[in-house]
Amino acid sequence: MSAGDILMKASAHEGFDATVVKSFPSNIRGGYSQSLVTIAEKPAVSPIGDCAILFALSSNAFLLDTLHLTPRTLILVETTAHADGQGRDRFKQLSAAGQTIFSVPVLQLARETAGSSAIRSTVALGILGELLGMGGDQLRAAVAWRFREKGTGLIELNRIALDAGILWARQHIDKKYWLTVPRRRARTDREDRFMLEGNQAVALGAIAAGCTFYTSYPITPATGVGETLSRLMTAHGGVAYQAEDEIAALGAAIGASFAGVKTMTATSGPGLSLMQEFLGYASMVELPVVVVDVQRAGPSTGMPTKHSQDDLFAAIFGGHGEGQRIVIAPATVEECFSATVTAFNCAEHYQCPVIVLSDSTLGMMKRVIAKSALESPVIINRDIFTGSDDTPTPWLRYRLTDSGTNPLTIPGVSSVTYRATGIEHNEDSTPATTPFERCAQMEKRFRKLRRIEMEMDNPVLWDLEPADTVPLDACLCSWGLTASITREAIASLRGEGFRIAAVYPRLLFPVCTEAFNRWADLCTLQIVVEANFTGQFCALLRMSTRARPHPLTVSRGEPFTPPEIAAGIRSIINKEAAA
């Protein structure tokens, strides 16, 4: 895992765009883990793609990691991982098929030079760096950075292992197999570039938005948000609180919101299930609160570290009754920052819960980000009424306004008090359950979000074909991390001559009906790509717009790859053409 970080850091120092996606089992140690490092000249669209080099350090990696392999992939495999059994068979099979494959005695090199097999991934890193023409300096610096808290002894051991790898590559791998990566000047603007995980970007987004109270309960893969905020909040003058469960976490967030501050909690699917009753309460009492769901593959414990987008319906429709909520999904690490800021702005403006749907891959992937992506976002604060001599009595907290919203009064700040209640109420928050009062308040609450598609900045991102003279083959839609992967698939399909338009919603709910009706009118063949079994966003569009899209889905714990999406789209287009 750390080898991926080091390679990413070294590449970034060389001036490349770099991303690392991690996949690992739900253990403290052990099991088969993988780091997928993307190094690119221009910012990569998709963090997932075909593998140029696969370095398999275990037989598991060698046998199981086939998702990103192509016939052109250069495979390096630890000698002991293909010594016998299935490993030996696979090695023979691949060689016979003409795959470029090298057996590398990584373990042996690690033991002989650094005296420890635990350091084998650093040997592999040396080999990889050499094949990429990186030069040892950047890697050495990155190794020193990665182990800076572990002492000079370990840094020195790693340096030895790194050099052993570099030397081995020079002696054993013919130059023709080296990747020709354009030489670049090392960049000096390190201060203005940041290496962030999706979860960290969410945390920073919360701070930038003005959040001063964060509360959560530990859960994979969302804990990173809390780990970041527990430290940053204190430094920033706020409070981070570990609650006894997810119910208490959202409860405390709502209590803090009532007391006047911007609040957030982060969780994953099981936690979102527990929060449903309080989400309904926040809708009913109309208090701003942000809930981040770093989705993992469910139901039940499911696959706690694995990728999925299967909480969409839970985010939108979970819980009893009908309450107004907003659901937003970032597609990149940069958007984890901006979507969180947007979530706070929406919560404050519309006075209702806002759910940010991230996922395990997006939350834990690391990416190099420019400062400009994190600078001075627009911030909206709630409308607070402090009280005046002519304050109407009783105070109408839930007045039937055209916008549906009213100013809030804050304990200790405003002289005008009110009691928030989850019971249906009238304008002055008195319990009231006559049909007339019920209808008036239901309509008022839903009126708030009636125009959100028009009021929000870029609720969807369009990617249209430049000329509209030739009919389209298909129009595409995808959301969350899958949108980033889909963009790359579409680029390659366009290269093949397919004409495709696409829309990527950031606001998932309320559904952007205007945009999606327009989208439906572009082409009769519509496809929604997402990482869940039942095609949830696809179904949502069928339910609430003119669109009649086909689902293209995957639910396996690993994200789609661009070639898979391209193949899926091609197959749907061809099937439709034949029909």
16 is an interface residue for other proteins by CB under 8 A? no
CA distance 177 to 188: 30
> How far lies 174's CA from each of 92, 170, 179, 192, 285, in Å?
21, 8, 11, 38, 69
- Does residue 1 contact residue 24 with C-beta atoms inside 8 Å? yes
Cβ-based neighbour number of residue 174 at 10 Å: 7
- Pick between residue 236 and residue 556 the one whose CB is nearest to other proteins: 236
Among 13, 120, 140, 397, binds other proteins (CB under 8 A): 13
Among 101, 127, 162, 249, binds other proteins (CB under 8 A): 249
200 is an interface residue for other proteins by CB under 8 A? yes
Span 129-158, contacts to other proteins by CB under 8 A: none
- Pick between residue 52 and residue 247 the one whose CB is nearest to other proteins: 247
291 is an interface residue for other proteins by CB under 8 A? no
Among 61, 248, 274, 461, binds other proteins (CB under 8 A): 248
Where does this chain touch other proteins (CB under 8 A) — which range of 187-195, 290-298, 444-452, 491-499?
Answer: 187-195
For residue 394, say if its preceding peptide bond is cis, omega within 30 degrees of 0: yes
- Note the Cα 377 to chain centre separation in Å: 19
281 is an interface residue for other proteins by CB under 8 A? yes
Angle, in degrees to the nearest 10, between helices 269-285 and 246-258: 30
39 is an interface residue for other proteins by CB under 8 A? no
Give CA angle at 206 (205, 207), nearest 5°: 90
CA distance 128 to 125: 5
423 is an interface residue for other proteins by CB under 8 A? yes
260 is an interface residue for other proteins by CB under 8 A? yes
Among 46, 121, 215, 406, binds other proteins (CB under 8 A): 215
- Does residue 241 contact residue 252 with C-beta atoms inside 8 Å? yes
- Pick between residue 110 and residue 256 the one whose CB is nearest to other proteins: 256
We find the least distance from the C-beta atom of residue 302 to other proteins, in angstroms, to be 24
- Exposure string over 139-165, b if 16+ CB within 10 A, otherwise e: bbebbeebbeeeeeebbebbbbbbbbb
- Does residue 305 contact residue 24 with C-beta atoms inside 8 Å? yes
- Pick between residue 33 and residue 414 the one whose CB is nearest to other proteins: 414
Binding flags for other proteins, 383-422, as an x/- string (CB under 8 A): -----------x----------------xx-xxxxxxxxx
277 is an interface residue for other proteins by CB under 8 A? yes
CA distance 83 to 195: 38
We find the least distance from the C-beta atom of residue 430 to other proteins, in angstroms, to be 6
Among 16, 91, 147, 258, binds other proteins (CB under 8 A): 258
> Strands 74-78 and 193-197, how do they pair?
unpaired
- Pick between residue 213 and residue 479 the one whose CB is nearest to other proteins: 213
Structure tokens at 426: 């009238």
- What number of residues does the chain have? 579
3-class SS of residue 478: strand
Q: How many residues bind other proteins (CB under 8 A)?
A: 64
> Strands 474-478 and 550-553, how do they pair?
unpaired
DSSP state of 117: G
Span 318-377, contacts to other proteins by CB under 8 A: 368, 371, 374
- Pick between residue 113 and residue 215 the one whose CB is nearest to other proteins: 215
Element (H, E) at 131: helix 120-131
235 is an interface residue for other proteins by CB under 8 A? yes
430 is an interface residue for other proteins by CB under 8 A? yes
Using CB under 8 A, list all residues that contact other proteins. Answer: 9, 12-13, 190-196, 200, 204, 207-208, 212-213, 215, 232, 234-237, 239, 241, 243-245, 247-249, 251-261, 263, 277-278, 281, 285, 368, 371, 374, 394, 411-412, 414-423, 430-431
